[in-house]
A = this chain, B = another copy of it.
Amino acid sequence: MAGHRTATLGREERTPLAAAREELLARLGTEQVIVDRQRLRTYECDGLAAYRVVPGLVVLAQDARDVETTVRVCAAHRVPFVARGSGTGLSGGALPHAEGVLVVMSQMRALREIDVENERAVVEPGVVNLQLTHATTPDGYYFAPDPSSQQVCSIGGNVAENSGGAHCLKYGFTTNHVTGVDLVTPGGDVVELGGKAPDAPGYDLLGAVVGSEGTLGVVTRVTVRLTRLPQDVRTVLAGFPDVDAAGAATSAIIGAGIIPAAIEMMDALAIEAAEEAVHCGYPDGAGAVLVIELDGPSADVEQELADVLRLCDESGAFETRLAADDLERALIWKGRKSAFAAVGRISPDYIVQDGVIPRTALSRVLRQIAELGEAGGCRVANVFHAGDGNLHPLVLFDGSVEGATERAEEVAGGILDLCISNGGSITGEHGVGADKARYMPRMFSDDDLDAMQAVRCAFDPDNISNPGKIFPTPRLCGERPGRHQGAHPLQEAGLGEVF
């Protein structure tokens, strides 16, 4: 890999990274280029702290030109680079490279343009998700993708991971809200993909770039669709005896042609954790709850609300509660949104899994997950976007018990196998990153992965743009592919310290 080669300059033999370091310091200065080991350590992981690698160098980009400069220098020396937004990702997508440059985008936070008339905004990638919503609310608009981390996560990160959120059932993922980007390709060219208008001629490379997790280049400008604030929002909390009944209610609602803004489900263990942490007052004795949110024109919402309450009743809900005001709505959501952290109250350690199944397979898969957990000696709490079948099972364990971590990881991996065998997918919204690259061959054929690799090689023939992510096996571009191996990508990509 790149980090193992050396370059000869004058009499001194230097690593490619050392050569890039010198050039970047000369061009961008010590304010923007971090070389101090202590400061570099700050960037050793993203939201998935299980993997840690201290980057070789950090560049604090102030504008698109800085990014272009950095990428050009990296390309010239074949030094790997990784772009990082707010570092809230959960798949290790922004895990640094020990012999590479980490390009920190979080200082590029300008809202370049708010074009209400055309319902578009043009932003720098470091803009925080909720910042854009706050800026457009006075005009009656917001930015629809709403990951749980929206108070801190960056729009550039949302683009890289094609982030979803509780409301993506109705409003779609980030890719449905991005109409254009400027991309610095791994070769250092600046390419404009899409724009304000929909359906540009030529290839829709915009769609391929959104969700490519930084492997096709670095985005320096994003044009997004603004969504009109709904006239009305109603939030229902419904308690069910078990997850089967809650699943039946979900299917009945969708089957009736209602698309709520969100349908979130929590099972008994997740409810227990949330109650302990934030006292959200969910229905006593519920085996499962649904949080159902309806939004849109008032007349419409009222009709849908009546239907939803009826369908919950018919599916066996023993209690339905309508939020009377914003405070009650906030409390309902607080239980749901705190669930991940709350699990820490009932278990010393846990793994957050992310997988997708067809909505209609919900009951079966939940049963299979429970069996899997039992066999592995782990409790599994389930919190998920029920409307679109995006599961977030939380695998609980105690890392101080010998072998417990391994068993929990096995259960978490087994859950992905269940998702695949039920016709689903290994990630709904957290991305593949460093964490799930080894699962890609379970989901895709060699030919499928070859097609992706071919595109990767077209953009990044030297494999320097966020290497070691998404793809299970780094391959030299141009060589005819062999079989993909399931080995851990971090070993194969030659990344530095992995804890």
Tell whether A38 is near chain B: CB-to-CB under 8 Å. no
Tell whether A296 is near chain B: CB-to-CB under 8 Å. yes
9-residue interface stretch from A100-108, A190-198, A278-286, A330-338: A190-198
Tell whether A489 is near chain B: CB-to-CB under 8 Å. no
Tell whether A297 is near chain B: CB-to-CB under 8 Å. yes
Question: Which residues of chain A from 184 to 202 have a CB within 8 Å of any chain B CB?
Answer: 185, 189-193, 195-202
Mark interface residues in A448-473 (1 if CB within 8 Å of B CB, else 0).
Answer: 11111011111100000000001000
Q: From residue A241, how far is it (CB to closest CB) to chain B in Å? A: 23
CB pair A205 B205 closer than 8 Å: no
**How many A residues have CB within 8 A of the partner chain?**
79
Q: Chain B residues with Cβ under 8 A from A193's Cβ?
A: 448, 451
Tell whether A117 is near chain B: CB-to-CB under 8 Å. yes
Q: From residue A301, how far is it (CB to closest CB) to chain B in Å? A: 9
Quick one: which of B195, B198, B202, B257 contacts A228, CB cutoff 8 A?
B257
Q: From residue A378, how far is it (CB to closest CB) to chain B in Å? A: 24
Q: Chain B residues with Cβ under 8 A from A296's Cβ?
A: 300
Tell whether A147 is near chain B: CB-to-CB under 8 Å. no
Mark interface residues in A35-76 (1 if CB within 8 Å of B CB, else 0).
Answer: 000000000000000000000000000000000000000000
Q: From residue A428, how far is it (CB to closest CB) to chain B in Å? A: 7
Tell whether A423 is near chain B: CB-to-CB under 8 Å. yes
CB pair A201 B443 closer than 8 Å: yes
CB pair B210 A204 closer than 8 Å: yes
9-residue interface stretch from A15-23, A130-138, A313-321, A429-437: A429-437
Tell whether A87 is near chain B: CB-to-CB under 8 Å. no
Quick one: which of B162, B189, B212, B447 contacts A191, CB cutoff 8 A?
B447
CB pair B444 A202 closer than 8 Å: yes
CB pair B196 A358 closer than 8 Å: yes
CA gap between A206 and B444 in the complex, in Å: 14
Quick one: which of B117, B189, B192 contacts A255, CB cutoff 8 A?
B117
Tell whether A499 is near chain B: CB-to-CB under 8 Å. no
Tell whether A344 is near chain B: CB-to-CB under 8 Å. no
Residues on A facing B (Cβ under 8 Å): 117-118, 140, 162, 164, 172-173, 175, 183, 185, 189-193, 195-208, 210-212, 216, 228, 231, 251, 255, 257, 296-297, 299-300, 302-304, 356-360, 388-389, 423-429, 431-432, 436, 440, 443-445, 447-452, 454-459, 470
5 A-B pairs with CB atoms under 8 Å apart are A117-B360, A195-B425, A200-B425, A205-B451, A297-B304
